[in-house]
Amino acid sequence: MVRTKLCGLGTDADVRAAVDAGADALGFITDVGVDTPREVIPERAATLAASVPPFVTTVAVTIPESVGGAVDVADRVDPDALQIHGEFSPDEVREIRERAGVDVIVALDADEPDRARDLDGAADALLVDSLSDDGAGGTGETHDWAATRELREALSTPLVLAGGLTPKNVAAAVETVDPFAVDVASGVERADEPGRKAHDALRAFVREASRTAETGTA
């Protein structure tokens, strides 16, 4: 089976729709220091995360400037897990896990397989994405899934596949990479309102990801 993380939720209605769609994890983007329509302030992320029912994992997604900055976001949002973007070393990731007391997902670019290998065992999960030059996600761009499959097979840490996934391509992505989880932000959004989710697309994404994993057909 493959798990699904729906990322960049900013309204109560989007959170409810994501839970109803059957998502395993919900991402709240906060304190990223880049321009994105998905960012909410930490207090809003905390309120949204607190509204999520049991058995659905909440993830605070952030680009911290330091280990202390990452711990501060975890303290303010109180999520189940923290997703960090940035050049953190394995020891720094271990320190964040210990001080924040939550699972830590490290986001990295698909073009950094050596870094992924370095972080293997230090992070609770590695999110392999198509990041922008400033380390941000939400680019809507896919990458070489065959290469990510090879990386996944070389790692013992669960791999989360992200970058340009949509209800239309997630089946093929799961088939190719066989990841622990898939993650989507821009691929399930409304065309008329940047950052807001299209609820039918949320449902279609979860359904398509799971259908492939269960039947083995893309």
Ligand X SMILES: O=C(O)c1ccccc1NCC(=O)[C@H](O)[C@H](O)COP(=O)(O)O
For 55-72, the DSSP string reads TSEEEEEE--SSHHHHHH
The answer to whether residue 164 forms part of the interface with ligand X (CB under 6 A) is yes
CB of 182: closest distance to ligand X in angstroms? 9
Q: Which is nearer to ligand X, 191 or 217 (CB)?
A: 191
Nearest to 107 by CA among 7, 207, 192, 3: 7
Residue type, 167: P
The answer to whether residue 8 forms part of the interface with ligand X (CB under 6 A) is yes
Number of helical H runs and strand E runs in the chain: 8, 8
**Beta-bridge partners for 73:** none
Q: Which is nearer to ligand X, 35 or 217 (CB)?
A: 35
Active site residue 118: no
Active site residue 114: no
CB of 84: closest distance to ligand X in angstroms? 10
**Separation of alpha carbons 75 and 73, rounded Å:** 5
The catalytic residue among 7, 14, 31, 109 is 7
Among 49, 74, 162, 201, binds ligand X (CB under 6 A): 162
Q: Which two tokens stand for residue 170?
A: 């997630």
Q: Are 63 and 85 in contact (CB under 8 A)?
A: yes
Neighbours of 172 (CB within 10 A): 15
Binding footprint of ligand X, residue count (CB under 6 A)? 26
CB of 136: closest distance to ligand X in angstroms? 4
Give 37's DSSP letter: T
Q: Which of residues 165-194 bind ligand X (CB under 6 A)?
A: 165, 183-187
Query: Which x/- pattern over 96-135 shows residues binding ligand X (rule: CB under 6 A)?
Result: ---------------------------------x------
**Separation of alpha carbons 166 and 142, rounded Å:** 10
The answer to whether residue 64 forms part of the interface with ligand X (CB under 6 A) is no
The answer to whether residue 38 forms part of the interface with ligand X (CB under 6 A) is yes
Give 51's DSSP letter: T
Residues that bind ligand X (CB under 6 A): 7-8, 27, 29, 32, 34, 36, 38, 61, 63, 85, 129, 136-140, 162-165, 183-187
Active-site positions read 7, 129
